[in-house]
Amino acid sequence: MRTLCLNLHQKEKPYVAENFLTFSPRVHYRDPGLIFLEVSTTAPLFGGEKALFHEATKLAQEFFPEAQGAIADSPSVAQLLCEERPSYISKPNEDLKELENIPLHRLKDLEGLIAWRSTREVEHMVNFFSTLGLHKIGQLKQFEIDSLRERWNETGSLVWKRLHGLDRQVISPLTPTESLEEYVYMDFAVSHAPFLLHCLENSLNQIMKRLQGRREFAQKVILQLFCEYSHSCHLIEMSPRSPSRSLELYMKLLEKKVLEISLENPIKEYKIEVLSGPEKIQQMDFFQPQQQESEKLDQAASLFHQAQLSTGYLCPKDEVFPENSWELLDEFEEFLEAEDVIEVSGQSLRLTPSYSHRIQQAPRPSRLLKKPKRLSSDEVHRLHFLSTHPVERIEGSWWEHSRGRDYFFVMTTQGQFTWVYYDRIEGEYFLHGYFD
């Protein structure tokens, strides 16, 4: 077993270990601020222990700048090396050799998952052997377990086992149970929106790292901003178009909401709660960019949704008239091109033509009016038709209100390139769209 020990150098809540589930399912947190990861099976996925160590310490230092770590066979030796030789990676099966020349005063750090029952006993042991002229941990191996047990009871036995690699400590898989919440009480009330957003970003980033370790997405973020006076509270709820753990997306949504709030009554504390859902599993090619185009579209759609704007994907429909040939969908769907259908029955053939097949390839304006605008005779006279013959003719069914349209490319007096048709039944011209 290979163990990575990270010392955060400050006491944290146990759920901080969830941040490191990305590197191994076997993670253990112990006060004060020690995290142990079993990395023997996951290191090859990161390109080796050195690469995994670099990524894990980088993540730890993102929130805890003084964090440091080390890798060894056992959790106890990994913790000791973390203090004596930060960033050190011992060779496999050489834990006992590493202990030979470690200063005796480091015996207090030879703990691992289980702390010493009494640090005072360990300190007494260090002082006792120092008076005998012993200054290296390896020099204690010459004593028998009975000798150490007789003088220091269970602590003495445990020291002997750890010196001889017989104290087996197993890191169990971590199952997250804590809710995804962050409660922050600030030292001083905040009335400056950019600084408040900076604080919120730090808290939200920690939750997003936990989500990444859990392999979950945030479905909804609930933020409560508690004011300093009158017990007022601002409630902000953010629900993106699709579940995500993109910090950039949520900060864009949050920034717009916060800037709408009056901070004359400053914020003294806040609480962030995240409702999560399972991660969408997607196999990605090695050279494929990490952020897909669909994710960028979802981010844009979420911003429009928050601004109460309708968004979606335009999907062509098998219809004759242009205003009916598109449909707005919430989810992207592959478009199946319209084709003629040939049915065979015995010796006979039946052809069902797709009349909109050619229409799908015909030029269409970038801005299509939902309802064509009737043009007066004065407006028609001011238009410049680019051809005397129609560029396209559309015939509807006999039961349609409008059954014959002749389309023209037309320039307006303002220089706009438009799409106009003449209704042969009504004898009127209609403006139907604009070209960019």
303, 326, 351 — which closes off a domain?
303
Structure confidence at residue 229 (pLDDT): 87
| Residue 355 covered by a domain | no
**266 shares a domain with 144:** no
| Residue 373 covered by a domain | yes
Paired strand residues for 240: none
Q: In 10 A of CB 388, how many CB atoms?
A: 6
Low-confidence ranges of the chain (pLDDT < 70): 280-310, 316, 318-320, 330-362, 397-403
pLDDT tens readout for residues 360-390: 566 788 888 888 999 999 999 999 999 888 8
Q: Which domain holds residue 381?
A: 363-435
**142 shares a domain with 81:** yes
pLDDT tens readout for residues 64-122: 999 999 998 889 989 898 988 888 888 888 888 888 888 888 888 888 888 888 888 88
Structure confidence at residue 295 (pLDDT): 63
Structure confidence at residue 284 (pLDDT): 47
The model carries a pTM of 0.62
CB-based contacts of 18, cutoff 8 Å, min separation 6? 27, 174, 176, 178, 209, 210, 213, 214
Judge contact between 214 and 174, C-beta under 8 A. Answer: no
**298 shares a domain with 242:** yes
**12 shares a domain with 128:** yes
| Residue 316 covered by a domain | no
Structural domain total, the chain: 3
CA angle 175, 178, 184 (to 5 degrees): 145
**396 shares a domain with 273:** no
**Six-digit token string for 12:** 């944290």
Structure confidence at residue 351 (pLDDT): 61
**190 shares a domain with 135:** no
| Residue 192 covered by a domain | yes
Structure confidence at residue 287 (pLDDT): 43
CATH number at residue 280: 3.30.1490.100
Residue 423 buriedness (CB in 10 A; 0-12 / 13-18 / 19+): middle
Judge contact between 378 and 350, C-beta under 8 A. Answer: no
136, 163, 190 — which closes off a domain?
163
Judge contact between 366 and 436, C-beta under 8 A. Answer: yes
Structure confidence at residue 418 (pLDDT): 93
Structure confidence at residue 286 (pLDDT): 42
**126 shares a domain with 90:** yes
303, 318, 345 — which closes off a domain?
303
Structure confidence at residue 352 (pLDDT): 62
**217 shares a domain with 87:** no
| Residue 391 covered by a domain | yes
| Residue 173 covered by a domain | no
**188 shares a domain with 149:** no
| Residue 44 covered by a domain | yes
**154 shares a domain with 18:** yes
Structure confidence at residue 226 (pLDDT): 92
Structure confidence at residue 283 (pLDDT): 46
**14 shares a domain with 137:** yes
**213 shares a domain with 135:** no
| Residue 431 covered by a domain | yes
